[in-house]
A and B are shown apart, each in its own frame.
Chain A
Amino acid sequence: DGGITQSPKYLFRKEGQNVTLSCEQNLNHDAMYWYRQDPGQGLRLIYYSQIVNDFQKGDIAEGYSVSREKKESFPLTVTSAQKNPTAFYLCATTGGLYNEQFFGPGTRLTVL
């Protein structure tokens, strides 16, 4: 079954802790993205990767880190340096003839 999977679905973190959000895809897409969505707001790009072992900062990269060691995986670490991490995190890939972007189910992170 092809698609994009994100885990966990819900995540609770204490202040000062780093947490890693998983994103896996079996669509054979080269490009992968991480977005953050806050209530009532649009999507803001955190990081993106066009190929393995390469990634670029998006608009709000501070306090986040990523790696792209495999084509299928693009994990996002939310570090303690991110001052307001509570949000809905969405992973996406780009593929197809027109490079359309498709989203995973998301991870909702809450800082306690």
Chain B
Amino acid sequence: QKEVEQNSGPLSVPEGAIASLNCTYSDRVSQSFFWYRQYSGKSPELIMSIYSNGDKEDGRFTAQLNKASQYVSLLIRDSQPSDSATYLCAVKSSGDYKLSFGAGTTVTVRA
């Protein structure tokens, strides 16, 4: 069973601050890494994917991957109240059709 662990929440940050979410995984052959945002009562929405070591930036979101440490993170800069949601980390191995999900970290951005 592949394990994906996320830092326990909830995470509360003031508006305009940086929210930092962490995710570790147990399977060393994992190749693809995804961050999903899930608003309460809604389905998950893919916001970032990363496949190689380093940083990947998309607007206010930055994903960071370190395969040696089996660690992937998501930074949300200039946090807005609309960023309040649960963020799910997901991991996929090469050639595998399945994703393994973490339990999620709930972020609350307070105005």
Contact = CB atoms under 8 A, between A and B. Distances in A.
Interface of A: 31, 33, 40-43, 45, 48, 50, 58-59, 90, 94, 98-106
Given A42-B103, A43-B88, A98-B51, A50 B97 contact: yes
Interface of A is mostly: strand
A104 B4 CA distance: 23
A58 B101 CA distance: 13
Given A43-B44, A43-B88, A101-B90, 7 more contacts: A40-B103, A42-B104, A43-B101, A59-B1, A98-B51, A102-B46, A103-B36
Contact of A42 (B43, B49, B88): B88
Interface of B: 1, 4, 32, 34, 36, 42-46, 49, 51, 88, 90, 92, 97-99, 101-104
B88 A105 contact: no
Contacts, number: 46
Given A43-B88, A99-B92, A102-B46, A94 B51 contact: no
A59 B102 CA distance: 14
Contact of A106 (B43, B98, B103): B43
A105 B46 CA distance: 13
A90 B32 contact: no
A101 B36 CA distance: 10
A89 B20 CA distance: 29
A101 B90 CA distance: 10
A41 B43 CA distance: 13
Contacts of A100: 34, 46, 49
18 contacts: A41-B103, A42-B4, A42-B88, A42-B101, A43-B88, A45-B98, A48-B97, A90-B44, A98-B49, A99-B92, A99-B97, A100-B46, A101-B46, A101-B99, A103-B36, A103-B45, A105-B42, A105-B43
